[in-house]
Chain A
């Protein structure tokens, strides 16, 4: 156990972070100029960290595979960002945000980390407004809020349905200011190929220039990985096509423990799969559940008729519909947390009530919201006795103002008008709570290698609440890491620049070149995507929304066999010394295959159901998750031992001093 020291500061929960900030060593401004930091990934966590570290005076190098930091996938976050501002006066506080997050995470996250997150949440909003992020406002000029799943207050700040975009552009603007000052050197269209350790410390990376194919050595005193989640291990997910686990996995192979890989968030409201050609899935923001009601037909024959195109959903009367979330969870209704909503949708579809041709979709219906808003708008506009048509027109205007871009996106993809007929949705892989294990300072088990944002495991436990990913990414990047990393770097003020001609860099570069050579030598006929899709199918069918022992054991065998086939046969045209998108994908898929195996192993060992991890063997008679706090109240951190299946488990026991462990109930 001694190997995992979470370094949580002593003292009362609410004082830990302040006390810690006062206790840690600082680096004086003149010395910061002599210290280099590499930040890999430029989304919210990486972009914010890079900008802040550069402001502080460190020399920062950023790396991203995209052609601009602004394109990192944080940009696609739609709904909003939580903060315990209590602007609505509905009783919100640091404690409530902390409590909701721990409960939402099904009691599998660290108290101290989550409390710090709740404290910093308020600073994020102040900071972003100062940077010019155009959050939505009310007519009085003050900031507007909406509510999200799993909570009973309105604490979500938003910028239309493009909150992630606006926050990322804010962090990117902060980066640009530092690039202009020469404090950040941005390496875009560059991919981290491996981490370089010197005397056991992270001292640099091997990168590949994706345009020229050149392999480069970059050294630094510390390396920050902010490279996002690994949802694309499922092939189909709401992640960007390029999102990958490679940086985190390369660090894992060099000694960083990988924590809770099986905690995956399957988001309930995504556009259903339309066919085999599908390359990715599109999310419809959770904010839609504020106003949309989820249902399937009450009678199976109606569902069949709808699937066959003989019946339209609008033809079904109120009493012929099963609003199953409202039925099962009257207190939270359509706003239950994501894992609960996803499983409930799967349950109805598996029982034969699905509403699209594949039988894997449920309705998200805005008709009652349109009616309600229409009547309200008519009243405030002074229209007396409005007819139905006027009400619908006014109501649709309100819905358009709130969710217009989402409705447009839906219509373009599905070719149906969601104002007139209910949306069809189905759960899809969206976010991964697991990631590299980090201590309170966000340091991995490799000295000098830090990890922030979705790439680490720290704050969301077994399930993340809506509008919390943006909050965590920015808290880590702007307000946590720039402080905590100073404590480590304060020992490096006399070290001087790290040379790149050492044996360690030499060996790391050679390993990268050899691996690429091996990938290019495949003799078979199948492309990288062929293997990626196969991996995705195994993951979705056997490690997806619900899992069981038998399936997981099979998954491990199947992935292992697929991996062998891939390394012998994958076909990659072109050369490794120039732009080659197939080679880029191949390196990422190779790492996904190893991760997939560890993922299944982790899911297999966790004999309980909690949050996003649902084991069929562990459920109540009503089909709710059955957690086992006695045996599994710990973080599973895996140490790499040569093969994913040989990974060694280390446990970090989770201690709850401020919250009583309860069975999560949203009824």
Chain B
């Protein structure tokens, strides 16, 4: 057996080669995945999951490795995305089965599609209210839109005067849109919000591209 490789002891050489091999293999996997999911113009990632398909602007990111960006089981699929600056966020939650929808709506005593959006807004606002008593909620606009060939209800809101830490003088205004689309068999929720005023204008176009390209592929029987 050889005692040395590249003039260094064989075990040390194997160790260095293994590190390089791990790095190269990992990088290659990421590179191939990225190249395989870029759209033709190179500006978007084509996210094609078992349940949902959509176009994600290339500059957007996931909260990985701190949080799992995509989570799915037999009844629910959830996606969490944020922009490069981290001041705009998108959640997509899809209750895939009739049982899952009934369970969710039954637990929260929700009767219709629009009430789902209102429930999520209240939950969202309560979370901020617990941190900051002076936070105020304003409903800006309610209406209906089409998402993935489905009718959906939406509500646009603003939460004003939020300070995220004790003694902090800077306050934030959250602007958000909550979309819910309910059928007999499933429920789709999309939540988009920004916590800086200028971020809304900068990222709303990205959000529209994502929503317009969204296709729900999985429909339970």
**A and B found bound together:** no
Residues of B at the A interface (CB closer than 8 Å) are none
